[in-house]
Amino acid sequence: MALTLFDGRSSSHMADPGRPATEDVWAMPEAAADPQGPRAVRQLAGIARPAKNTAPPVPVPLRPLTLSDMLDGAFETLRIAPTLIFGIAALFVIPLQLWISYLNRDFLNQDLGQVFADAFAAGQSPQTSDLATLVSFVGSMAILPFVAAGVARVHSAWYSGTAIGFGEVAKMLLRRSWVIAIGFVLTRLMGIVVIPLVFTMLFGPVVGMESDGPIGAIKRSFTLVQRRFGLCLGFFLATALVSSVLELALGLLPTAIAATIAVDVGWLPLTVGNIIASTISVAVLASATSLLYIDTRVRTEGLDLQLQAADVFPEANAAASSDAGAAA
C-alpha cells in the first residue's frame, strides 16, 4: 500500500536535507540513523526533486519534538529564510494594520503623549475606536491560518529537500484561500458553540500540507489534536504567551517615540511599530504551529519511520503507488 504523507500524495524517494545528495543506494536496515533526520523526506505536490547539493537546511530534525524544540525550530525557521517567512506574514499583517490605523485615525491625530499620560494616570488603556478594536481582534485570528498554511508549505518543501520561493507560496495561498476563509468561519462558530478552539489549531498547516477541503481539514485537525491533546493544549497556552510578550516588547519603543514627536506624524512610528511587532509574532506562531503538525504526525502516525521505509524500499513503494493509481 502506498504511503500517504504530505498533501495527500504517495511517498517518493528524496534526498537528505541535512547533507549533499548522493546516488540512490541500498542500505542495511540496521544501519545507524542519520542524526539530521531520515534520508527520505517527502516530495510534495508540484515540487520537483532537487538537483544534487541544492537541498535546503531544515529547522529541526524529523523526529519527536518537545515544546521547546518547536519554539526553537520556529526561530530557526526565521533564521534560515527571514525574507520568505516574514514576507508571508507581512502579506496579511500590513493590510490589516493599515486598516486598523485608518479606523483609529481620530485617536492617532491627537497628542499621543498626553493621551498616554492621561490613560496611565487613570489606570486605563487609551480609548481607541471600538470598531478598530473589533477588527484587530478578529483580524489577528483570521490571518493566522493563512500564514500557518504558507509556512507549512515552506516546511514541507524544505523537508522534501527542495527550495521554494515566495511566488509559489503566494499562488498556493491564493488557490486555497477559499478553503481557509470558509474553514476560519466554521472553526470560530464551532469554538463558540461546540468544541474548544484548541482542536482546530492545526487547521492552517493541514490546509498547507494536505489537499482537504474546509470540512475535511477541520476534521483532520480535530483528529490530530485529540491524539496529543495535552501537548497541544500546552502549546496553545505557551505560544499565546510568547506571542503576547513579543508584541508588547516590540511595541514599546514605537509607542514611546509616537508619544514624544509632533502630533501630525505621531501615528507613523506607532503604525510601523505595530506592523513590525505583529509580523514577527505571527511568523513565530505560524512556524511553531507548522512544526507541531509535523511532530503530531511523527508521534501518532510514525511519519519519520514511513519515510525511512520508503527510502530503503523505493521500488516497492513505487509499485504500490502504481497499483493504487490503477485501482483508482
pLDDT per residue as tens digits for the range 85-121? 999 999 999 999 888 888 876 665 554 544 444 444 4
- Report the pLDDT value the prediction gives residue 36, as an integer from 0 to 100: 42
Whether residue 292 has pLDDT greater than 80 = yes
Query: Which range is most confident: 46-50, 237-241, 293-297?
Result: 293-297
Task: Please state, in angstroms and rounded to a whole number, the distance separating the CA atoms of residues 131 and 62.
Answer: 44
In this prediction, residues 212-219 reach a mean pLDDT of: 93
Whether residue 42 has pLDDT greater than 70 = no
Q: Residue 233 burial by CB count (10 A; 0-12/13-18/19+): exposed, middle or buried?
A: middle
pLDDT band of 79, cuts 50, 70, 90: very high
pLDDT band of 223, cuts 50, 70, 90: very high
Share of the chain above pLDDT 70, in %: 62
pLDDT band of 167, cuts 50, 70, 90: very high
Q: Which residue has the higher pLDDT, 78 or 312?
A: 78
Whether residue 3 has pLDDT greater than 80 = no
Whether residue 25 has pLDDT greater than 60 = no
Q: Which residue has the higher pLDDT, 64 or 255?
A: 64
| Average predicted confidence (pLDDT) for the chain | 74
pLDDT band of 194, cuts 50, 70, 90: low
In this prediction, residues 220-239 reach a mean pLDDT of: 89
Whether residue 8 has pLDDT greater than 60 = no
Task: Please state, in angstroms and rounded to a whole number, the distance separating the CA atoms of residues 321 and 187.
Answer: 34
Q: Which residue has the higher pLDDT, 327 or 271?
A: 271
pLDDT band of 23, cuts 50, 70, 90: very low
In this prediction, residues 139-149 reach a mean pLDDT of: 93
pLDDT band of 311, cuts 50, 70, 90: low
Whether residue 177 has pLDDT greater than 70 = yes
**Which positions ≥6 away from 121 have C-beta within 8 Å?**
none
Task: Please state, in angstroms and rounded to a whole number, the distance separating the CA atoms of residues 64 and 274.
Answer: 35
- Report the pLDDT value the prediction gives residue 196, as an integer from 0 to 100: 72
Task: Please state, in angstroms and rounded to a whole number, the distance separating the CA atoms of residues 126 and 117.
Answer: 9
* Encoded amino acid at 314, one letter: P
* Encoded amino acid at 328, one letter: A
In this prediction, residues 208-237 reach a mean pLDDT of: 90
Q: How much is the pTM?
A: 0.73
